[in-house]
Structure 1
């Protein structure tokens, strides 16, 4: 069986992955802005890992496919998986209460552990497919003419990354990420961004 793919097919897989990551970031904003569940330090770090995961794939779409971009995505997925696992262990202690709402009976940190673990496998498979790609196909012109949907997904991801950075700043200011239980955005509550 020949598993060689053209760069166009690899790009379509990556755009689908970026769309999935964007969906997760939109979902996180839904819980934050609509349901009022501010992210804790672990949640903010998990969001950073989601952004790293998507950034490697976005770099592939903008500058061309490179194995180092898969390393960046895989690194984000590995750190995110470990953070999610650590969060799960922290909430497994007797007497500790789960953080946030449950989706289909599982909390966000459990879902992100599964997503990041699958993403590690995705990055490995994509790197193998990149190595076995069909270099005889002329995809250089096709990669320059991106469909409008691909551009929309890429712009959505960049906007979500910027929104997450603004959100983290409004929540924590110039300090470190704070543990759970925050009831307000510190920068909006205190009103002075330059306060010590």
Structure 2
């Protein structure tokens, strides 16, 4: 199957979903004034890794190593999400369960597990659909691809800045 524009748009749509999750985390951080915990920051780094792998597909063409980067970042992020789920699975009597407010009945780290699992599944499905060859030098990115790529770059940079503002050069507490 040739790599037509639809596959690049699907790749960009997947990237937009993960960017939306990071924007939601920003809303919790700045809108609801809930500072992220260290495990939350590590999960964000996993999502940034997923975005980077998907962005490499749009910029350099589909390649199995780009999908491997997505899957590796998603596995690492899922590991941190599952760790946090397990920390809060049996709350102490009389204390609130979980960290932060719930969103549609689940905490953000529980949603993280689902986002990372969907990233692995989506990346694996896309890998079966694409033809691994470098894009033609004449391939023009769609406006959608360009907007999503620049939005993703902005959100990733904002995450780095906000994490540095929160933690400086030392460990986060």
Output the TM-score relative to the length of structure 2.
0.91
Aligned to 2:79: 82
2:40 maps to 1:36:
no
Alignment RMSD, CA only? 1.7
Alpha-carbon displacement from aligned partner over 1:136-194 (angstroms, at most 9, x marks no partner)? xxx7366x32222221110000000000000000000101232xxxxxxxxxxxxxxxx
1:129 is matched with 129
Report the Cα distance in structure 1 between the residues aligned to 2:55 and 2:37, rounded to whole angstroms: 27
Please report how far the alpha carbon of residue 86 of structure 1 lies from its aligned counterpart in structure 2 after TM superposition: 0.8
Match in the other structure for 1:27: 24
Query: Larger Cα Rg: Structure 1 or Structure 2?
Result: 1
Aligned residue among 149, 156, 159 for 2:154? 159
Partner residue in 2 for 1:189: none
TM-score, normalised to structure 1's length? 0.81
**C-alpha contact (below 8 Å) 2:75/2:116 kept by paired residues:** yes
TM alignment of 1:95-106, pairs within 5 A: 95=92, 97-106=97-106
Segments of structure 1 that go 5 or more residues without pairing to the other structure are 179-196
Deviation of 1:5 (Å): 5.1
Alignment coverage as a number of residue pairs = 169
- SS of the counterpart of 2:158? helix
Distance change in 2, residues 1:38/1:129 (3 Å): same
Q: CA deviation at 1:118?
A: 1.4
> Residue in 1 aligned with 2:90?
93
- The runs of at least 4 consecutive aligned structure 1 residues that moved more than 4 Å come to none
CA contact (8 A) 1:44 1:177 kept: no
Q: Call closer, same or farther: CA 1:40–1:125 in 2, change over 3 Å.
A: same
Alpha-carbon distance in structure 1 between the residues aligned to 2:98 and 2:29: 16
